[in-house]
Structure 1
Amino acid sequence: MSYQTSEVLMDSICHCGRNAVKRTAWTDLNPGRRYSACEKFREVGGCCYFVWIDPPMCTRARQIIPGLLKKVNKLENNLKQVNKLENDMKQLEDDLKRKRSREKYLWFALVLSWSIMYLFM
């Protein structure tokens, strides 16, 4: 079965009879460029079916997109670190509340025990 996309006629089944899968390349030369390939492409027993879906990108896009991807990845990593720190901070705040509650209970018990000792002396 064949279909047309981006002026390229593509098969949904590759030469070896397996499904052809659509993927996106994220290499520096083809950032964001879609292609169709055998599901076992580059694996033992796979075939060499490979066809680009999108036309080549201009030189400027190939220069800009990798840098933008690196910035996005760096920001996502920073966000993960901030979220982890926030979770750690919430855990520490909960621990502090429990310890303060226990401290109040112990002070109350101490004052009560002194009061009882004072009354009986």
Structure 2
Amino acid sequence: MGKPYVLYQTDIGANKMTGNYSEEMDAVKSDLVTLKSDLANLTKSVKADAQTNAAELRENASIKLKAAQKNAMEAGTKSREKAQLTIKKNPIASIAATAGLGLIVGALMARR
């Protein structure tokens, strides 16, 4: 046997690749090792980014929850103060409204 068997011949940019089977297999193996390493690095990077994003999302959710709790407390306080003011301004009407509400609730509970 004279010449080595040529598997393929291609031009890649300025480099011209030609070679025998074992040289090209070595190149493919080298490329696969590089690809494996790049994939591992990419996986680590994506994992780190995901953890960072998850921490940011947790922090944002915590801030929004605290703001919602504060708003609910403020709304409850304002409603209570408004009810107290209404009772002070109209004590007889407040007593009548409470009595009427008591009768309605009592009637509904008696039906059960």
Give the structure-2-normalised TM-score. Answer: 0.52
Residue 78 of structure 1 deviates from its aligned partner by 0.9
Distance (whole Å) between structure 1 residues aligned to residue 86 and residue 31 of structure 2: 83
Unaligned 5+ runs, structure 2:
1-24, 90-112
Q: In the TM superposition, what are the counterparts of 1:4-23 in structure 2 within 5 Å?
A: none
Q: Which residue of 1 aligns with 2:49?
A: 81
Residue 119 of structure 1 deviates from its aligned partner by 1.5
Distance (whole Å) between structure 2 residues aligned to residue 69 and residue 104 of structure 1: 52
Aligned match for 2:68, one of 90, 96, 100: 100
Unaligned 5+ runs, structure 1:
1-57
Work out whether 1:113 is the aligned partner of 2:62.
Answer: no
Give the structure-1-normalised TM-score. Answer: 0.48
Which has the larger strand fraction? 1
Which has the larger helix fraction? 2
Distance (whole Å) between structure 2 residues aligned to residue 102 and residue 63 of structure 1: 58
The RMSD of aligned alpha carbons is 1.5
Residue 97 of structure 1 deviates from its aligned partner by 1.4
Work out whether 1:71 is the aligned partner of 2:1.
Answer: no
Residue 63 of structure 1 deviates from its aligned partner by 2.4
Q: Looking at both structures, which has the greater relative contact order when contacts are Cα pairs under 8 Å and sequence separation is at least 6?
A: 1
Deviations 1:1-50 (A, max 9, x none): xxxxxxxxxxxxxxxxxxxxxxxxxxxxxxxxxxxxxxxxxxxxxxxxxx
Q: In the TM superposition, what are the counterparts of 1:38-77 in structure 2 within 5 Å?
A: 59=26, 60-77=28-45
Q: Which residue of 2 aligns with 1:40?
A: none
Letter in 2 for 1:97: L
Distance (whole Å) between structure 1 residues aligned to residue 79 and residue 32 of structure 2: 70
